[in-house]
């Protein structure tokens, strides 16, 4: 399929041919009919992308601080590898589109294939021929609304959320500062709400269009004085409410809003503008300043957007999905006119011309629609190199499922550098990532479906590096296809999954010898090998393993029991495995006790002490915490037994004392 992206390294716009995205639980595959370029937002993204690394750093000092913190924790080399890996990724553009439901994932029960839907969200409603979208980011299109109109729904929902946050009242005097796409929609929503509206913009054409859409008065900046205009419009009282819908790094909109809004008035920032607030005038007028967050409650909440957990209707009347439905209903009732906002149409294949027009600014534009052919064939597999029709007798054919940052930095490069390995196919949930990794590392083909790997006789082994909850399913499919499997830890997140993997492993080995390995990598560290050699096999050892993890935000998927398994399963398996390897014995009993915390930032079950008794008499104590500090080393392993002591400090140093002698 075709998809519009931005090259993060050089900022260039690219049209790429990539596999369509994977269908995941709780969502839909939507064949795109139309998508909207948001000129203000996407122009800012493109301009940032074209800046040098220093320029990007100046624009995003928050990310610079994250990199510095990571370098202190993980070292410069590892941090540089991670940053460069992210720089190799392309940025998906677009967030407002509409199309036809092509397929439905498990858990979606209220839509069917063939339904017309509006879709929302960066990374979901992209400028792409096919999009995967979670259910809560979709809304059914009324019969009277066209695809092109519905494609505006996300942009319109942004305007609507700003208006809802502003709480306008009948006959209030409202100023809309910035008459771009969102500003012109805001004007219509305010007029429908019974307000008197004055609009401000630098562009005369946009002011005139605002007047056609219902503005009571328009002001062209640099031609008219907005202060005098608002003074006349309000009979000297000032605006009751000002909505800033501009997109600029300038501080001018926030300063002007303070000047033209009446004492105790309200200011709502909808667009991305400079926020160096002039305290004096805001203080003296006791102004209320609010910042609208995208298209409504639920935005940036993973449990809502990806998990499908809706907010109770009686308590959160207007979620982002219900805002989408609301603007679509206004379009149906012809109370919101988005048709007249469209100034340009471009086929997806000619998207570069649309962005070139935006960046050059040599034409007046408002609504820019990308159009798609709903009947163009889509290939699930994109080939990078000629197909390999037979198994190599000299090199191991490898397929890879899951090509995120960890796999791209720590796993795939090692396989690529091996003369014994032949990289054949790579699978990722998004076609864009699959294609990027295939080209970067030299895979022969890419897809978003594991089936091509399973059917490829040249693939002897499959590496799995996806999210934790999917490890078991992919492992079982690969084993049933007769492939050797390397799966990242944890292999499973439940006992049921464990039983199923064991059954699949037994089935595979009943037919032919089949390997299954889990990525518990600490046991292969050179320091661990040297430490293990110090102790006699069969000796009862006392092991103390302290882990100062520094904590991972509880909002991430790793903490969710049904997806990441939590830190106990997702990470602590590393440390129990290492103690088991060092003593060479099997666990016989386990006791654990967690901290009792009264802090939502940390989880009780992520701060605990585990005591493992082994069948050979050894004891291992794991102290794992997230309430510490990243400035302190992460891991320390102490082993005592037979008159010997071995200590590994953060895998940077090893100290061994043999029978009293260092």
Q: What is 113-130 written as a DSSP string?
A: TT-EEEEE-TTTS-SBSE
Rounded average pLDDT over 340-347: 96
Note whether 410 and 423 are same-domain residues.
yes
Residue 235 domain-assigned?
A: yes
On whether residue 320 sits in a domain, the answer given is: no
Average pLDDT for 446-460: 97
- Domain presence at residue 228: yes
Residue 605's pLDDT band (boundaries 50, 70, 90)? Answer: confident
> CA angle, 127 as apex, 123 and 132 as ends, to 5°?
45
Q: What is the pLDDT of residues 385-400, one digit of tens each?
A: 765 544 556 899 999 9
In degrees, to the nearest 5, what angle opens at C-alpha 18 toward C-alphas 14 and 23?
130
What does the pLDDT average to over 321-350?
97
Where is average pLDDT lowest: 64-68, 435-439, 442-446, 581-585?
A: 64-68
Q: What number is the average pLDDT over the span 295-307?
A: 93
Residues 502, 386 within the same domain: yes
Q: What is the CATH classification number for the domain harbouring 248?
A: 3.40.50.720
Tokens, residue 331: 């379009």
Please indicate, yes or no, whether residues 529 and 487 belong to a single structural domain of this protein: no
Q: Given a cut of 60, is residue 66 above it in pLDDT?
A: no
661 beta partners = 658
Same domain, 191 and 83: no
- Residue 178 scores a pLDDT above 90: yes
Residue 250: which residues within 8 A CB-CB, separation 6 or more? Answer: 273, 274
Query: Residue 125 burial (CB < 10 Å; 0-12/13-18/19+)?
Result: buried
For the chain, the first-to-last Cα distance in angstroms comes to 63
Residue 56 lies in a domain: yes
Confidence of residue 96 (pLDDT cuts 50, 70, 90): very high
With 0-12 CB in 10 A as exposed, 13-18 as middle and 19+ as buried, what is 632? Answer: exposed
Residues 564 and 482 in one domain: no
Mean residue pLDDT of the chain comes to 90
CA 342, 348, 352, 353: dihedral to nearest 10 degrees? -50
122 and 180 together in one domain:
no
Q: Specify the number of domains making up the chain.
A: 4
DSSP H stretches of helix in 339-480: 351-360, 405-406, 412-417, 431-441, 451-455, 471-480
- Identify whether 479 is part of a domain: yes
Q: Return the CATH number at 568.
A: 3.30.360.10
Phi, psi at 430, each rounded to 5° = -110, 135
Cα–Cα distance for residue pair 124/429, rounded to 1 Å: 12
Point out the domain boundary residue: 518, 542, 577. Answer: 518
Are 170 and 267 found together in one domain? Answer: yes
> Averaged over 604-610, what is the pLDDT?
85
Note whether 347 and 218 are same-domain residues: no
pLDDT for res 115: 98
Please identify, among 327, 346, 371, the residue that sits at the C-terminal boundary of a domain.
371
Task: State the Cα–Cα distance between residues 29 and 296, nearest whole angstrom.
Answer: 23
Indicate the residue among 321, 348, 371 that finishes a domain: 371
- In this structure, is residue 63 part of a structural domain? yes
- Check whether 634 has a pLDDT greater than 50: yes
533 and 650 share a domain?
A: yes
Give which of 365, 377, 310 is closest to 184, Cα–Cα: 365
Identify the burial level of 466 via C-beta atoms within 10 angstroms of its C-beta, where 0-12 means exposed, 13-18 middle and 19 or more buried. buried
pLDDT of residue 626: 84
Q: Which domain holds residue 59?
A: 2-140+338-371
Which of 290, 242, 24, 15 minimizes the C-alpha distance to 127? 15
State the pLDDT confidence band at 138, using cuts at 50, 70 and 90.
very high
Q: Does residue 451 share a domain with residue 529?
A: no
Residue 662 belongs to a domain: no
Residue 390: the pLDDT is: 46
Dihedral-angle region of residue 477 (phi above 0 means left; psi in -120 to 50 means alpha; beta otherwise) = alpha
Both tokens assigned to 156: 């319109």
Identify the three-state secondary structure at position 159: helix
Shared domain for 592 and 612, answered yes or no, is yes
d(CA 564, CA 562): 6
Does one domain contain both 477 and 511? yes
Strand (E) or helix (H) holding 551: none
Handedness of CA 219, 223, 225, 228 (dihedral sign): negative
Identify whether 149 is part of a domain: no
> Residue 87 is part of a domain; what is its CATH number?
3.90.180.10
pLDDT higher than 70, residue 409: yes
pLDDT score of 258: 98
Of residues 554 and 280, which shows the higher confidence score?
280
């Amino acid at each position: 399929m075709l998809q519009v992206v931005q090259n993060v390294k050089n900022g260039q716009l690219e049209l790429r041919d990539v596999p369509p995205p994977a269908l995941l639980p709780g969502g839909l595959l939507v064949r795109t009919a139309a998508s909207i370029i948001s000129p203000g937002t996407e122009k800012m993204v493109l301009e940032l992308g074209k800046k040098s690394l220093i320029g990007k750093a100046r624009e995003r000092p928050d990310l610079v601080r994250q990199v510095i913190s990571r370098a202190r924790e993980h070292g410069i080399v590892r941090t540089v590898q991670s940053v460069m890996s992210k720089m190799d990724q392309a940025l998906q553009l677009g967030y407002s589109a509409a199309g036809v439901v092509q397929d439905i994932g498990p858990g979606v029960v209220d839509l069917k294939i063939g339904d017309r839907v509006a879709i929302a969200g960066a990374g979901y409603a992209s400028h792409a021929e096919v999009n995967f979208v979670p259910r809560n980011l979709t809304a059914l299109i009324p019969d009277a609304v066209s695809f092109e109109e519905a494609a505006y729904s996300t942009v319109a929902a942004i305007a609507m959320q700003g208006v809802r946050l502003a709480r306008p009242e009948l006959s209030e005097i409202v100023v809309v500062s910035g008459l771009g796409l969102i500003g012109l929609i805001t004007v219509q929503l305010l007029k429908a709400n019974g307000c008197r509206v004055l609009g401000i913009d630098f562009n005369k054409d946009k002011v005139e269009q605002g007047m056609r859409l219902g503005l009571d008065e328009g002001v062209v900046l640099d031609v008219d004085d907005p202060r005098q205009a608002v003074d006349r419009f309000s009979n000297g009282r000032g605006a009751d409410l000002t909505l800033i819908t501009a997109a600029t790094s300038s501080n001018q909109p926030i300063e002007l809003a303070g000047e033209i809004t009446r004492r105790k008035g309200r200011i709502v920032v909808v667009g991305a503008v400079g926020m160096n607030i002039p305290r004096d005038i805001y203080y003296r007028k006791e102004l209320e300043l609010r910042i609208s967050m995208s298209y409504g409650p639920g935005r940036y909440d993973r449990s809502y957007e990806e998990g499908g957990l809706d907010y109770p209707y009686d308590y959160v009347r207007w979620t982002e999905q219900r805002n989408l439905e609301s603007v679509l209903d206004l379009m149906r009732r012809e109370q919101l006119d988005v048709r007249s906002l469209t100034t340009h149409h471009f086929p997806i294949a000619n998207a570069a011309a649309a962005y070139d027009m935006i960046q050059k600014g040599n034409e007046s534009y408002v609504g820019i629609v990308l159009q798609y052919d709903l009947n163009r064939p889509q290939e699930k597999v994109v080939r990078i190199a000629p197909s390999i029709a037979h198994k190599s007798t000299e090199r191991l054919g490898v397929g890879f499922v899951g090509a995120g940052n960890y796999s791209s930095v720590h796993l795939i490069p090692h396989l690529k550098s091996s003369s014994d390995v032949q990289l054949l196919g790579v699978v990722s949930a998004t076609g864009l990532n699959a294609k990027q990794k295939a080209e970067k590392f030299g895979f022969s083909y890419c897809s978003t479906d594991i089936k091509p790997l399973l059917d490829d006789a040249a693939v002897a082994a499959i590496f799995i590096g996806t999210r934790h909850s999917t490890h078991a399913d992919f492992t079982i499919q690969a084993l049933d296809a007769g492939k050797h499997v390397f799966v990242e830890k944890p292999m499973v997140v439940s006992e049921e999954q464990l039983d199923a993997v064991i059954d699949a492993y037994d089935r595979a080995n009943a037919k032919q010898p089949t390997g299954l390995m889990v990525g518990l990598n600490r046991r292969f560290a050179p320091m661990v090998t040297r430490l293990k050699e110090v102790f006699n096999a069969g000796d009862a050892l006392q092991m103390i393993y302290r882990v100062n993890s520094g904590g991972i935000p509880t909002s991430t998927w790793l903490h969710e029991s049904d997806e990441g398994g939590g830190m106990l399963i997702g990470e602590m398996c590393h440390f129990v495995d290492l103690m088991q390897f060092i003593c060479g014995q099997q666990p016989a009993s386990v006791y654990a006790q967690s901290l009792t915390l009264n802090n939502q930032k940390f989880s009780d079950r992520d701060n605990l002490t585990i005591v493992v008794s082994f069948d050979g008499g050894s004891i291992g104590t794991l102290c794992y915490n997230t309430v510490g500090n990243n400035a302190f080393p992460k891991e320390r392993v102490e082993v005592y037994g037979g008159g010997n002591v071995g200590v590994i400090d953060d895998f940077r140093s090893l100290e061994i004392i043999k029978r009293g002698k260092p």
